[in-house]
Amino acid sequence: MRVLVTGAAGFIGSHLVERLLARGDEVRGVDCLTSGYPPATKLANLATVRHHPRFELVTVDLASTPTAPLLDGVEVVFHLAGQPGVRTSWGSGFGDYVTHNVLVTQRVLEAAAATDPAPRVVMASSSSVYGEGHRWPTPEDAPARPVSPYGVTKLAAEHLCRVYADLRRVPTVVLRYFTVYGPRQRPDMALHRMFDALATGREFPVYGSGGQVRDFTYVDDVVAATMAAGTRPVPPGYVLNVAGGSARSLTDLIGLVEEVTGRPVRVRDGGAPPGDVSRTGGCIDRARELLGWTPRVGLRDGVRAQAEWHLRAD
């Protein structure tokens, strides 16, 4: 199978590229190497596959580059490119979120609609679209009420996928990821920052009370669900939760990191930023039924794997 992976040099994208190549696919990866974290780090994510004979990396900005040629001969588009992060989506940086999460998604979908036959587009979304006040675990049909500009842009991208599925016959699938972690995790994410603090002896800033709960999902499980969404018979326009079933508070996570590493995590109060929900947790009945998928990696084993990678990398 010939596939396109946008955001190929990112945390999840690089793992996906590796697994697709291992499956035997031809992979075209696209990444604009934005400055959210160092481009050298992103390229290092692809170190094991950069010279693979079935992999091509195209470093262009999808917001300004013609997208149709990138889809030439492609059967599935795994659209993982985007501007991540809740806290940095407030204020003057919001334009970047609109560009990379909404405009780029529309351009990818428009190119898919102009291709005959249209490739399937599997888009990565986020549990941030749900917001607060839902029953837990949260099903896909719960009202979407994002409480951050980031969540608003991801919800807008989801709506674009539905519109192009309904009116332009693009077979889209939206996956709502829940707090993905593991080796090569983005530097701005809590677990990565926690290991950084351990490695450098600095304090780890705790934003909020520490009681906020996240449904942690190991990256290998996320990749397995994403690959399944590219081939399984999922109705066009569907949204599916991809959640690990490992809901823990930040305080619990700190304790687990201390157990796994045998080292204390020094913490400090980082304040309570706007846009952080108090609890996330996804119902995965739909993914289990349509993708034949369930998470396999428990939180302790996943944290241990990330700790080994992180401390080895340092």
Q: Which of the residues are catalytic? A: 150
Report the distance separating Cα 247 and Cα 138, nearest Å. 12
Find residue 269's DSSP bridge partners: 206
> What is the b/e burial string over 173-200, where b = at least 16 CB atoms within 10 angstroms of the residue's CB?
bbbbbbbbbbbbbbeeebbbbbbebbee
In the beta sheet, which residues pair with residue 138? Answer: 282
Task: Give CA–CA dist 262/46, Å, rounded.
Answer: 31
Are 75 and 171 spatial neighbours (Cβ–Cβ below 8 Å)? no
For 96-109, b where at least 16 C-beta lie within 10 A, e where not — what string? bbbbbbbbbbbbbb
CA distances from 170 to 68, 99, 237 (A): 14, 21, 8
Beta bridge partners of 29: 5, 57
CB count within 10 Å of CB 72 equals 11
Cis peptide leading into 117, omega within 30 of 0? yes
